[in-house]
């Protein structure tokens, strides 16, 4: 039987309560005990109801099941003996973290955060995050946004996502045009010429109904650098 011990030199995440509290710190999450067994406490995402953190006691230790990117799955298992293949879950996509005091808190938090990101990830979310990187006074094309969101072939999906833009005030969908600099008609705003007016307010004038991409278009390399800085050196 594994002996759960705590080492004090490095800060450790020690209890189920601490793990649950961290999981619940992410947006739109809630706690649930779905099996009529208080030993199993999950943190789910509202709406999709997908669980990204499973907690339970096994062999005298608190265990956490978290979703993992297959590219990082073996890294964590190799780094810590107390990270194993997901118990009672798909072992390709889930890891089990045993809270036996051997894993630094920052790495446990990172694994939980990665699980949340994987469960909440969607093409639309990545598209909206990419659009947020386009600064006022500049425009990007559907193709540029698609590439930044991870798949240069989904330019059409970009258009569909922008027409359903849930928060035009926070997501500047009006800064996205097609490869010819043409606007999107009624777009996500429900009125003709709204996109043109929003661009004009940011100093972008149309020529023959189009945006001059040589003048106002943002360079793809600059856009990627902006994302790299904003995300602390990471990716969307």
CATH at residue 214:
1.10.10.10
Q: Helix 70-79 to helix 105-120 angle, to the nearest 10 degrees?
A: 160
- Bridge-based pairing of strands 51-58 and 61-67 is antiparallel
Q: Shortest CA distance to 118 belongs to which of 50, 174, 167?
A: 50
Same domain (yes/no): 113, 138 = no
Same domain (yes/no): 37, 105 = yes
The position carrying tokens 């999981």 is: 23
Please report how many Cα atoms fall inside a 13 Å half-sphere around the Cα of residue 98, on the Cβ side: 19
Using the predicted structure, report yes or no on whether residue 8 has a pLDDT greater than 50: no
Neighbouring CB atoms inside 10 A of 139's CB total 24
Measured between alpha carbons, how far is 159 from 144 in angstroms, rounded to an integer? 12
Same domain (yes/no): 137, 221 = yes
Domain that holds residue 20: 16-120
8 lies in some domain = no
Give the burial class of 77: count Cβ atoms within 10 A of its Cβ; 0-12 exposed, 13-18 middle, 19 or more buried: middle
Same domain (yes/no): 33, 110 = yes
What is the pLDDT averaged over residues 156-181? 89
5 lies in some domain = no
Same domain (yes/no): 147, 97 = no
Instruction: Tell me which of 4, 61, 165, 173 is the catalytic residue.
Output: 173
Measured between alpha carbons, how far is 152 from 91 in angstroms, rounded to an integer? 30
> In angstroms, what CA-CA distances link 229 with 29, 142, 183?
28, 22, 29
Same domain (yes/no): 108, 176 = no
Does the pTM exceed 0.85? no
pLDDT tens by residue, 78-125? 999 999 999 999 999 999 999 999 999 999 999 999 999 899 878 888
Same domain (yes/no): 89, 21 = yes
pLDDT at residue number 230: 53
**Residue 173 designated active-site:** yes
Measured between alpha carbons, how far is 61 from 4 in angstroms, rounded to an integer? 6
Measured between alpha carbons, how far is 176 from 158 in angstroms, rounded to an integer? 9
Per the structure, the count of domains in the chain is 2
pLDDT at residue number 224: 66
197 and 114 Cβ atoms separated by less than 8 Å: no
Percentage of the residues of the chain whose pLDDT score is greater than 70: 86
Same domain (yes/no): 51, 89 = yes
6 lies in some domain = no
E strand or H helix at 148, and its extent? Answer: helix 142-148
């Amino acid at each position: 039987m594994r002996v759960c011990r705590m080492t004090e030199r490095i800060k450790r995440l020690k209890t189920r309560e601490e793990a649950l509290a961290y999981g619940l710190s992410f947006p739109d999450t809630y706690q649930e005990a779905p099996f009529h067994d208080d030993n199993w406490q999950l943190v789910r995402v509202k709406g999709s109801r997908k669980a990204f953190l499973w907690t339970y006691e096994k062999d005298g230790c608190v265990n956490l099941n978290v979703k993992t990117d297959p590219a990082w799955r073996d890294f964590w298992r190799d780094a810590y003996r107390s990270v194993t293949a997901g118990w009672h879950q798909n072992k390709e996509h889930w890891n089990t973290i045993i809270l036996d005091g051997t894993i630094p808190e920052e790495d446990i938090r990172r694994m939980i955060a990665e699980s949340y990101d994987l469960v909440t990830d969607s093409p639309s979310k990545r598209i909206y995050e990419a659009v947020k990187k386009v600064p006022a006074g500049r425009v990007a094309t559907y193709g540029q946004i698609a590439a930044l969101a991870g798949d240069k072939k989904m330019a059409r999906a970009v258009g569909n996502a922008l027409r359903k833009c849930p928060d035009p005030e926070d997501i500047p969908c009006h800064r996205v045009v097609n490869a010819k600099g043409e606007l999107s008609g009624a777009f996500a705003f429900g009125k003709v010429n709204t996109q043109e007016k929003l661009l004009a307010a940011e100093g972008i004038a149309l020529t023959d109904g189009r945006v001059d991409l040589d003048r106002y278009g943002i360079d793809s390399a600059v856009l990627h650098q902006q994302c790299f800085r904003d995300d602390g050196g990471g990716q969307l």
